[in-house]
Amino acid sequence: MATIMAEAPVQQKSNGTAPDKRWVYLFNALDVLEKEVQPASWDDVRSLLGGKGANLAEMTRLGIPVPPGFTVTTEACNAYLAHDRNFPPGQWEQEVAAVHTLEQQTGKRFGDAENPLLVSCRSGAKFSMPGMMDTVLNIGLNDETAQRMAELTGDPRFVYDSYRRLVQMFGSVVMGVPDEPFEQIIEEVKEIRGVRLDVDLLAEEWQQITARFKGLIMAYTGSEFPEDPYKQLELATRAVFDSWFGKRAVDYRNATGIRHDLGTAVNIQTVVFGNMGEKSGTGVAFTRNPVTGDRELYGDYLMNAQGEDVVAGIRNTLPIGHLKQEMPKVYTQFLQICEKLENHFHDMQDVEFTIEQGTLWMLQTRDGKRTARAAIKIAVDMAKEGLIDKKKAIGRVQPAQVDMLLHPQFGNEAKKQAQADGRLLVEKAVNASPGAAVGMAVFDADTAEKWAKEGKPVIMVRPETKPDDVHGMIAAQGILTSRGGATSHAAVVARQFGTPAVCGAEELHINLEQRLFTVQTETENIEVQEGSWISIDGGAGEVYLGQLDTQEPDFEREVELKTLLGWADEVRVLGVWANADYPQDAERARRYGAQGIGLCRTEHMFFQEERLPIVQEMIMARSKARRVSALDKLLPMQRADFEGIFRAMDGQPVIIRLLDPPLHEFLPGHEQLVQELADLKVRLQHFHTLSEIDAALAEVRHKEDVLSRVEALRESNPMLGLRGDRLGIVMPEITEMQVRAILEAAVHVKRQGVDVYPEIMVPLVGHVNELKTVRKLTEEVAADVFKQTGMEVDYKFGAMIEVPRAALTADELATEAEFFSCGTNDLTQTTFGISRDDAEAKFLIQYVEQGILPRNPFQQLDRSGVGKLIEMAVQQGRQTRPDMSVGICGEHGGDPDSIGFCHQIGLNYVSCSPYRVPIARLAAAQAALA
């Protein structure tokens, strides 16, 4: 051993850490750790040992069979990375000492040819990053130990299979050789032998494969595979440390928001062999169904296989239930362990196990990833079972998961029609991640990412996926694989990101080179080229050719979600209102739990087909009298709209925003008109009859008339032009008509017994005098309506805060406004000086990619800029009017992070799209609990 120790890595001079610091903890040393480090919480233990290491230690303490091992801490990783990739002083000595302890615990010896101790080396960060970092199995094998072990066990097939795994993983993970040539060598040998499965290969073939693997490493790297087990261990430890900043890991952390300074721990564990014959096997399982959330074991296993075989999806697996027949005692023990783990960790567990010659070993437990639906069901069920309380249940579901549940689904009609048309390509593959997705087929991750950036929806189609593919999977609308089951890499990642996925669709014959797949249906052999449209139903495991229509999910049937949101409503402080322009929107909002309408945009009503001509007549009017006459025609239509919304929101407030967009938006575009005129004039040259020419000239005159009005109205920066309250002040007759429509509608429905709370909101206010002007108009109209109808209605008058000056002078505005609603879309535009229409394509995406902006501020509220203004509006507004109600009604009202901020600064409510109301309810509750 001394000689081996002499080859330990050269120590750096000093990296400032205490020389006796402990970098390594044995799995059974949790009590030692607690005594030495005195962690404040389990979270601190996880920070130090990583999630996997902490849980292995905890399982050991719980008396669950775990192969002995030890963990090199995340602190060691960070010290290594911070000091030019040098191990901190003492780490290597402690690793070597820990190996000696394993030797004592197992009675085997590391590097000993007679009774070799083999170990695995796995990464394990604080937060699970499945498949993102590297693993090396069977460290300790070399030519000498393998040969002797084969003799001793009498099972050379098993030994050389294990040895080739070490060489393969070491080559790829530690020495950087690509995966494919290794697999190619195995495929070649199988082809020569004429067998289909790995298990059918014989000992000498594995031995031959191992030798070829070594040659491959030498050819690729110019270095020999190290025969020295300690060298293997050292290099594997380094490789795991290094993998923390590998591209895959960095991408994953960027995508999921995990911090880059946490580091990873390294878990060194005695290898148990699932490939030691027919009584051996390996598998992964969830303690509940991660797709549906049902309380049942869910997983796959493979007999006579090791480690990654199950997860990689390379060989098709057996469902875990099958183990009950195959090894009933092991199955029962496994069930008990699962229950123990769930009770201990208070959450659904994702476990890995190996059976070595009939003995069950647990290799890992962690909180399991799950679909949105499962997350909700498990949280609600566990709360009902008493395993967690309601508040914890609320915290267990991410708001984004609620969104996934309410994602569109394919309608039954659409499916039936597609089937009738012969477009059902795959009827029953693995329903790996639910939801409907429609996109163009692409065959690699880079293309998926590229096309998605260009705005094309894509479905990524692969035989199986690997961690390298994640950037494409994130970009894709859906994922489709021909191999692998419900726990394959593709399935796990898809569920995590809420991307619909169908896996193991063996009917697909994927040809990556020709970039197409073929499917033999009952009637024909269909070829689907890259770029063709396909539709997948990840909940049903179905694949269709073409684009299927989607339909709204049925909220009423989401019983667990409704229960959870009911609990959320009990704890949240922030109100949740909805933006709705039509009665049917208002009804949906109410069904989804909205407590009011925070924004009813009256202009959307103007765009309706039968009204647009009247609106255009109003705009084209050359005199106020003509304008008023057009407005008179619009009045009953607007009134009817408002009546519908008031009825739908009986008993709840409805904020109606007065007309906001610039008038030219209601007219044809300038270019269109110019082009049409130019075309007409060209055509004029070809007319011959007088009547043709007369008609054409009349058309020219009309178009010129419209064009001149468009030219008079159009602006160089319409966003900052004559719109909002400016329009309603310059043309007060528009304001008058709208206020009249609102209040007449309110009186009318009140007479019918509806409990009505209209609130009139003035858009784009910048100065208190604007509010004064509109308020005076409003009060005059109100007095007239109440007098004429003989009935009064309480209404509120408020201001939209959507230019910075409104927020900066909120104390003044509050003298006139009874409520504020922050229009965060426009407020973000003016605070940044960025036009959303122009910016996203031209530089905003690049800004986010380059990290110049942390997030797209139109999606997630910019706290330090826009947020500061909103805080000022709240504080100054309430300074003047202590009971001032302040909400937001931009898109941020449906964004969980932004909702958290709104709660923090004491807003009264957020108002969002009806579809996002459930998300907002949950996010508001989580903010209150935070």
Least spacing, CB of residue 279 vs a second copy, in Å: 59
- Among residues 804, 877, 890, 900, the one that binds a second copy under rule CB under 8 A: 804
Nearer to a second copy, 687 or 843 (CB): 843
829 touching a second copy, by CB under 8 A: yes
Q: Which part of the chain contacts a second copy (CB under 8 A), choosing from 97-105, 403-411, 573-581, 800-808? A: 800-808
Least spacing, CB of residue 863 vs a second copy, in Å: 10
Q: Rounded distance, CA 63 to CA 74, Å?
A: 25
- Rounded to 10 deg, the angle between the 612-620 and 624-648 helix axes is 150
853 touching a second copy, by CB under 8 A: yes
Least spacing, CB of residue 887 vs a second copy, in Å: 20
663 touching a second copy, by CB under 8 A: no
- Among residues 378, 803, 907, 923, the one that binds a second copy under rule CB under 8 A: 803
Q: Which residues lie below 8 Å from residue 730, measured CB to CB, with a gap of 6+?
A: 722
719 touching a second copy, by CB under 8 A: yes
Short-list 501, 528, 502, CA closest to 517:
528
- Among residues 86, 773, 778, 821, the one that binds a second copy under rule CB under 8 A: 773
Least spacing, CB of residue 841 vs a second copy, in Å: 10
Q: Which of 121, 338, 489, 912 is catalytic?
A: 489
Count of residues binding a second copy (CB under 8 A)?
A: 57
Cβ-contact 268, 69 below 8 angstroms:
yes
Write 208-211 long-range contacts (CB < 8 A, 24+).
209/160, 209/164, 209/185, 210/146, 210/160, 210/163, 210/164, 210/167
Tokens of 70: 């030890």
Q: In DSSP terms, which residues pair with 911 in a beta bridge?
A: 577
- Among residues 427, 446, 715, 794, the one that binds a second copy under rule CB under 8 A: 715
Tokens of 583: 């009665």
* Per-residue interface string for the shown chain with a second copy, residues 747-766, x marking contact by CB under 8 A: -----------------x-x
- Among residues 197, 522, 716, 882, the one that binds a second copy under rule CB under 8 A: 716
- Among residues 162, 207, 289, 831, the one that binds a second copy under rule CB under 8 A: 831
Tokens of 125: 């960060």
3-state helix/strand/coil string of 265-326:
EEEEEECCCCCCCCCCEEEEEECCCCCCCCCCCEEEEEECCCCHHHHHCCCCCEECCHHHHH
453 touching a second copy, by CB under 8 A: no
Nearer to a second copy, 41 or 850 (CB): 850
- Among residues 809, 825, 856, 875, the one that binds a second copy under rule CB under 8 A: 809
Our measurement of the distance from residue 459's CA atom to the centroid of its chain's CA atoms, rounded to an integer in Å, reads 16
CB atoms within 10 A of CB 826: 21
Least spacing, CB of residue 765 vs a second copy, in Å: 10
Short-list 604, 732, 616, CA closest to 666:
616
Least spacing, CB of residue 867 vs a second copy, in Å: 9
- The reply to whether 889 belongs to the active site is yes
Site for a second copy in 726-745 (CB under 8 A): 726, 729-730
Collapsed DSSP state (helix, strand, coil) of residue 596: coil
Phi/psi of residue 391, nearest 5 degrees: -60, -40
Collapsed DSSP state (helix, strand, coil) of residue 48: helix
580-593 exposure pattern, b = at least 16 Cβ within 10 A, e = fewer? bbbbebbbbbbebb
Nearer to a second copy, 161 or 816 (CB): 816
Q: Which part of the chain contacts a second copy (CB under 8 A), choosing from 228-236, 375-383, 600-608, 860-868? A: 860-868
Q: Rounded distance, CA 197 to CA 206, Å?
A: 13
- Among residues 18, 197, 682, 930, the one that binds a second copy under rule CB under 8 A: 682
703 touching a second copy, by CB under 8 A: no
Least spacing, CB of residue 913 vs a second copy, in Å: 23
103 touching a second copy, by CB under 8 A: no
Chain position carrying tokens 């010896």: 109
- The reply to whether 702 belongs to the active site is no
769 touching a second copy, by CB under 8 A: yes
- Among residues 83, 295, 392, 670, the one that binds a second copy under rule CB under 8 A: 670
394 touching a second copy, by CB under 8 A: no
Q: Rounded distance, CA 761 to CA 770, Å?
A: 12
* Per-residue interface string for the shown chain with a second copy, residues 523-562, x marking contact by CB under 8 A: ----------------------------------------
CA 360, 365, 368, 369 torsion: positive or negative?
negative
Q: Which of 822, 889, 902, 912 is catalytic?
A: 889
CA dihedral 543, 547, 549, 552 (to 10 degrees): 60
Nearer to a second copy, 275 or 735 (CB): 735
718 touching a second copy, by CB under 8 A: yes
**Helix and strand tally (H, E) in the chain?**
39, 31
Collapsed DSSP state (helix, strand, coil) of residue 458: strand
Q: Which residues lie below 8 Å from residue 140, measured CB to CB, with a gap of 6+?
A: 110, 111, 116, 117, 118, 119, 229, 232, 271
- Among residues 104, 514, 815, 846, the one that binds a second copy under rule CB under 8 A: 846
- Rounded to 10 deg, the angle between the 732-751 and 624-648 helix axes is 30
- Among residues 381, 581, 802, 816, the one that binds a second copy under rule CB under 8 A: 802
Residues classed as catalytic = 489, 889
Contacts with a second copy, residue ranges (CB under 8 A) = 670-671, 674-675, 678, 681-682, 685, 715-722, 726, 729-730, 764, 766-767, 769-770, 773, 802-805, 808-809, 812, 826, 829-835, 837-839, 842-843, 846-847, 850-853, 862, 864-866, 868-869
